Structure 1
Amino acid sequence: MFFSIIIPLYNRPQEIKELLESLLKQTYRNFEVLLIEDGSVNDAGEIVKSFEDKLNLRYFVKQNEGQGFTRNFGFERAKGDYFVIFDSDCIIPERYLEIVNDSLQQNWLDAYGGPDDAHASFTDVQKAISYSMTSPFTTGGIRGNKKGIGQFHPRSFNMGVSRKVWETAGGFIITRLGEDIEYSIRIHNLGFKIGLIPEAKVYHKRRTNFKQFYKQIHFFGRSRINIYKFFPSELKAVHFFPAVFTLGMFIALIANIFQWMIAPLCNAVIIIFILLIFFHSLSKNKSLKVAFLSVIAAFIQLIAYGLGFMQDYWKRVILKRS
């Protein structure tokens, strides 16, 4: 099988070098790389040149349209039997394509997704963010999990679709705000087989500090409402959890300020949650610092998502604004 790896890039030349270096080490060699610069001011042209004689690599520069439509640009030019999408801030384990190829030979999937993990080279903050996004104690626990709630929806940081899917379903119809989930649901509704390949993980850097992480997750909360506008049945009870958590934190704060009777109960619940996050992260990361930062990351994730979710739920569902 010939794979086309499609990578949108926007003002992140510092990240693409590590990704391309990881692709050089792939044990499965039958692939091409399409790197699409999406209207970047700070482009990766010089870095890409150093890989042109090492990889089957094509580099494109186009005006800014957003990540969804940039992936479509790659689909239109890809030569592969199967298209693989990565975010530019990923590092790919050397057996990734070998694992995907073997898995598809044994159990064909028209589209697949894989989990993400933290690499040893990541900063402590990045490791904490990675933990939070994959923890069973936050909404991140349903990502990359075979036992997740409902139909599995691949995410575009680590996602593959067959050429037949592209020819039948086309590409992304929205460029941001949940474009990968919309695409996954549409593929599923057309009768294609979608699944998780648990061993096909990538190391995903995500954001380098908590301020950037907050902005990203707030956007994710808003994205869930955008998906609801396309597919109302896809809004599940679990998607309300961050909003309930955020409201609960606000109530706890007010209860403590005014010394309400429920304040001790609220505090006890918060302490239990903190301890669960701390010790679970400690068992996984073997670091007190990462465990402490994981608590901060978990609170940021839930509150940012909850605020973004409530913001657009109020505007687009209650007030019915477009």
Structure 2
Amino acid sequence: MKVSLAIATIGRTKELKRLLESLCDQSHTDFEVLIADQNPPGFLDGTLGAFESQLDIRRVCISPCGVSAARNALFALFTGEIVAFPDDDCWYAHDTLEMVVSFFQQDIAINSAVGTWTHDEFAQSISEVKEHAIHAMNLRELFVRGETYVQFHRRSATIAIGMFDPELGPGTGLPYGCGEDTDYLLRAANHGPVYRAPAIRVFHPLPNTQNYSLAPKWRAYGRGRMYVLKKHNLSIWFKLANVVYPLWRGVVEGKANWAYRWHMFKGRLKGLLDN
């Protein structure tokens, strides 16, 4: 079973190299790497050139357009039966694709699955993964655990779901700095259950919550979340809970993360009030 990996990238070489190195180490080797390159000409030549003899890589060079539009530029190139959307700064465990293929092979009715992520590949034991049973995800889980880089879909399902919303996500120039992942997952859920598959492991850095110069980005995250809630006509109570949640988290986490949570709250409140 072949897997298509659609990677949108801009401004990163070290992180992309780490991801590609992890792909070279996969126990399941039937996959293709599709890259939407939003960098200046030549920026990635050295990085990709080092892997061209080891990986099946195809690159599409486009002008900066945001992560969603960049991923959309790759949809026509998929040849795998399974599609994934790794971030350019995530990386895979040795058995990630093996576990993905095994999961989808067990039941042809499964269209979409969500794995698990951690920032430290040594922190997650097999026993920890096995504690959580495979199950159909509820609405809360779709929001809490639905990052794009842990989503895996049958290609036939992506045809039904459609492409990513180009107004959502970083790099669009619009004030909705996230939400493309949750939006895509909610749309997937409209076509059948989305299953939680904790044994599928992906690694990703923790968000930077200490650099106060990122406050506009944090507020944009908040507005993106509310855009998604409105788009999917979720209840006013669910919207209000989402607005208040960062304040509660800020109290629980303490002073270290308070600024991050405060700006997230401000973004969500602004998004709630947007017309």
TM-score (norm 2): 0.79
Pairing of 1:228-267 with structure 2 (within 5 A): 228-233=229-234, 236=238, 237-242=240-245, 244-245=247-248
**SS of the counterpart of 1:55?**
coil
Change (3 A) 1:175 1:196: farther
Q: Which residue of 2 aligns with 1:14?
A: 14
Q: Which residue of 1 aligns with 2:82?
A: 82
Q: Which amino acid aligns with 2:142?
A: F
User: Larger radius of gyration, structure 1 or 2?
Assistant: 1
CA drift of 1:12 comes to: 1.0
TM-aligned CA deviation for residue 31 of structure 1: 0.5
Q: Distance in 2 between matches of 1:183 and 1:227?
A: 10
Aligned to 1:163: 155
| TM-score normalised to structure 1 length | 0.69
Q: Provide the residue aligned with 1:313 in structure 2.
A: 272
Give the match for residue 193 of structure 2: 193
Distance 1:92 1:58 in 2: 19
Q: Is the 8 A contact 2:210 2:260 kept in 1?
A: no
Q: In structure 2, how many angstroms separate the alpha carbons of the residues matched to 1:148 and 1:192? A: 12
Q: Distance in 2 between matches of 1:169 and 1:204?
A: 25
Residue 43 of structure 1, CA deviation: 2.7
Match of 2:256 among 260, 278, 296: 296
Partner of 1:115: 116
Deviations for 1:197-242, whole angstroms, at most 9, x for unmatched residues?
1121211025457226655433221111111231121661541333
Root mean square deviation, CA, Å: 2.9
Which residue in 2 is equivalent to 1:260? none
| CA distance 1:61–1:75, change in 2 (3 Å) | same
- The residue aligned with 1:49 is 49
CA apart distance, 1:97: 0.5
Structure 1 residue 90, shift from structure 2 partner? 0.4
CA distance in 2, matches of 1:11, 1:116: 23
* 1:173 shift after superposition: 2.7
Q: Partners of 2:219 and 2:40 in 1: how far apart?
A: 23
Deviations 1:222-268 (CA, angstroms, capped at 9, x unpaired) = 1111112311216615413335449xx8xxxxxxxxxxxxxxxxxxx
Structure 2: give runs of 5+ residues left out of the alignment. 124-134, 169-175
Aligned AA for 1:152? Answer: L
Aligned to 2:127: none
Q: CA deviation at 1:61?
A: 1.0
Identity of aligned residues (%): 20
- Letter of the aligned partner of 1:52 in structure 2? E
2:225 is equivalent to residue 224 of structure 1? yes
- Checking the alignment, whether the CA contact within 8 Å between 1:28 and 1:98 is kept in structure 2 is yes
| Matched residue type, 2:272 | Y
Partners of 1:2 and 1:30 within 8 A in 2? yes
Give the C-alpha shift of residue 11 in structure 1.
0.9
SS at match of 2:200: coil
1:148 positional shift: 6.3
Q: Distance in 2 between matches of 1:99 and 1:213?
A: 36
Counterpart secondary structure, 1:115: strand
Distance 1:242 1:93, change over 3 A: same
Aligned residues: 250
CA contact (8 A) 1:4 1:32 kept: yes
Task: Name the counterpart of 2:142.
Answer: 152
Q: 1:180 to 1:101 in 2, by over 3 A?
A: same
Separation in 2 of the partners of 1:192 and 1:66? 28
Contact 1:37 1:43 in 2 (8 A): no
CA distance in 2, matches of 1:206, 1:9: 18
Letter in structure 2 aligned against 1:101: V
